[in-house]
Structure 1
Amino acid sequence: MRAIGGDQVEEAVAGCVAALRPAVERDWEGVKAAGLDWSCHQTAFHIAEDLVAYAANLAGRAQDDYVPFEITLDDGTDNAGLLHVVESTGALLAAAVRTAPREVRAFHPYPFRSADREGFAAMGIAEVLLHTHDIAQALGLPYEPSEELAESVLTWLFPHVQPGPAAWPTLLWATGRGELSGRAPVTEWRWRNNLVIPTERLTLVGVRPAAARDLRLGGDGGFEWVDGGPFQGTRDAAGMVVKAYEAGVHRPEFGLFALVRREDGRAVGGMGFHGAPDEEGRAEVGYDLVEAARGQGYATEALRALSEWALARDDVRLLMATVDQENLPSQAVVTRSGYDRATVEEERTAREQDDMDSVLQLYLRRD
């Protein structure tokens, strides 16, 4: 899996400074950054503000808002000094990312009010890459980050954006900064950190496309698994995420979740949806557990929480689960999670219209 962490934050910042340093003797206050109302000086300072804010929230474990402080420049700070501030705040974010435990999440407003260490790293990198582009364009300087950095930002923060032929032009297009052949211009955009759903003993952690690709290829997806994990069903579900992402139809909140045990941070299974709800508000759920974690109520706890989260939405009316008729433990899981066995007619319709296998039983939970 392509890494995203402190090293990548530092790489992005180093690229920013290298690109802008040739113009430190020029007037950054009097030139607007490309596509922005800010001057080049204000935009560079904004990069530093974001880097230190992300570092503070992650290091301080902020939960409800940004840590209440601001940075200022000393009077008379020149452009070279401003770049030094960018370097220093980038180093602070890199350190915060490196030292934060895997399970830590801290406040960020969009879209689910939190981000993990990789999310903060990706957001910091995105701010650096995009605003360096804005400044460089305005000053007539060449700038293009590595394809690896741009791809990391896309796969960690833009899971809803279909990959393009090259990552950097795709990221510029996705943020309203460029054109991409065959795609309409973007006028409004926001990135997406992954969704987490807490339960008493577990955290359901949304699996990003980068992690899903790694799982599909036999890796651990960035999770520490209990012995025997991940189960093949989780790898298959990860493949479905990758396929949807590459087709441009992935809706992250209706993808795959890793079931992470809160007591030790180890993943015990996977659970999620077979796709976004259809026009009638129907969505199918599926799950599996590593054998060592079975029989302890984890699947029931997770399925109940995921189902309640989904049915609280306006676009979900009916949840479906199919279970092998010989799999009595799984039948018990869905029943304890509020699902009812479908009627004979409902199962017949599912077999005829949805090609449900004859050895499966259909269970439903309604809003």
Structure 2
Amino acid sequence: MTVLQTARLELVPITLSLVEAVMADDCAEVERIAGARFPGKWPGRSLIERAFSASVERIRADPSLRLWGDRLMIATSAAGDRHIVGSVVFHGAPDEEGVVEIAYGVEPSSQGQGYGAEATCAMVEWALEQPGVRAVTASTFPWHTSSVKIIRRAGMEHCGWREHDLLGELEIFERRRIEAPCYVGASTREAAARASRAG
């Protein structure tokens, strides 16, 4: 996979070696692989275990399938310091119906700066350009208003509900290939003009 560039971020592919370094709590190796400073308190151990432990053998068996589209968010400060601010991931390659599910996380000290929206929007656009992808979905709790806002900003619309084992109903959103692109940071008029030019 190639590195994607947005206005403020580099979206760098997550590899098996990076996953293994994170699992081993080897911050130096994570930073070497990513070429960026790693926030030592993120992701927390519980998040790492939820994200990787159950599927690490599947990742090793076929990284291209399990890590399909997954990327680190890397920002560069005015002083030129590169640092990891989060990640945006898919829950594997497209299923038999051409659907992929996207999720994101931003480390605490970098939250509230629009990185999640910027990366999510870019990766939704990327996914919908990939062969075999017909739709991108995302899920969140309806009370998680910041996540709902980011998902809607990426052009997704409500399409249903799913029950969470412990915390109640998750709201499901979807954006299909035919829908117009979104433009993070653009005004409504500018976004409409760009969408019109895009066809």
Match of 2:42 among 225, 229, 251: 229
Match of 1:214 among 17, 21, 25: 21
Which residue of structure 1 aligns with residue 105 of structure 2? 288
* Secondary structure of the structure 1 residue equivalent to 2:138: strand
Which runs of no fewer than 5 residues in structure 2 stay unpaired?
Answer: 178-199
1:302 CA drift (Å) = 0.2
1:356 CA drift (Å) = 11
1:200 CA drift (Å) = 0.7
Higher percent of residues as helix? 1
- Supply the distance in 2 between the matched residues of 1:331 and 1:227 (Cα, whole angstroms): 28
Match of 1:360 among 149, 165, 170: 170
Tell whether the 8 Å contact from 1:272 to 1:285 is kept in structure 2 after alignment: yes
1:266 CA drift (Å) = 0.1
One-letter amino acid of the counterpart of residue 142, structure 2: Q
* Secondary structure of the structure 1 residue equivalent to 2:72: strand
Single out whichever of 331-340 and 235-244 deviates more from structure 2: 235-244
Which runs of no fewer than 5 residues in structure 1 stay unpaired?
Answer: 1-193
Question: Kindly tell me: are residues 272 and 229 of structure 1, through their superposed partners in 2, closer, same or farther at Cα, counting changes over 3 Å?
Answer: same
1:261 matches 2:75: yes
Match of 2:62 among 232, 248, 252: 248
Tell whether the 8 Å contact from 1:251 to 1:276 is kept in structure 2 after alignment: yes
Question: Kindly tell me: are residues 246 and 226 of structure 1, through their superposed partners in 2, closer, same or farther at Cα, counting changes over 3 Å?
Answer: closer
Question: Kindly tell me: are residues 319 and 203 of structure 1, through their superposed partners in 2, closer, same or farther at Cα, counting changes over 3 Å?
Answer: same
Could you tell me the TM-score, scaled by structure 2's length? 0.73
Which residue of structure 2 aligns with residue 172 of structure 1? none
Tell whether the 8 Å contact from 2:124 to 2:136 is kept in structure 1 after alignment: yes
1:252 CA drift (Å) = 6.8
Tell whether the 8 Å contact from 1:228 to 1:292 is kept in structure 2 after alignment: no
Q: Give the count of matched residue pairs.
A: 167
Question: Kindly tell me: are residues 202 and 246 of structure 1, through their superposed partners in 2, closer, same or farther at Cα, counting changes over 3 Å?
Answer: same
* Secondary structure of the structure 2 residue equivalent to 1:359: strand
- Supply the distance in 2 between the matched residues of 1:365 and 1:240 (Cα, whole angstroms): 28
The one-character-per-residue Cα deviations of 1:311-358 (angstroms, maximum 9, x if unpaired) are 01121111111112221111111111111122xxx32xx55xx98973
Taking only aligned residues, the RMSD between alpha carbons, in angstroms, comes to: 2.7
Percent identity of paired positions between Structure 1 and Structure 2 = 28
Which protein shows a greater Rg? 1
Tell whether the 8 Å contact from 1:203 to 1:260 is kept in structure 2 after alignment: yes
Higher percent of residues as strand? 2
The one-character-per-residue Cα deviations of 1:79-138 (angstroms, maximum 9, x if unpaired) are xxxxxxxxxxxxxxxxxxxxxxxxxxxxxxxxxxxxxxxxxxxxxxxxxxxxxxxxxxxx
One-letter amino acid of the counterpart of residue 341, structure 1: H
Tell whether the 8 Å contact from 1:256 to 1:271 is kept in structure 2 after alignment: yes
Which residue of structure 1 aligns with residue 128 of structure 2? 311
Question: Kindly tell me: are residues 294 and 331 of structure 1, through their superposed partners in 2, closer, same or farther at Cα, counting changes over 3 Å?
Answer: same
Question: Kindly tell me: are residues 331 and 293 of structure 1, through their superposed partners in 2, closer, same or farther at Cα, counting changes over 3 Å?
Answer: same
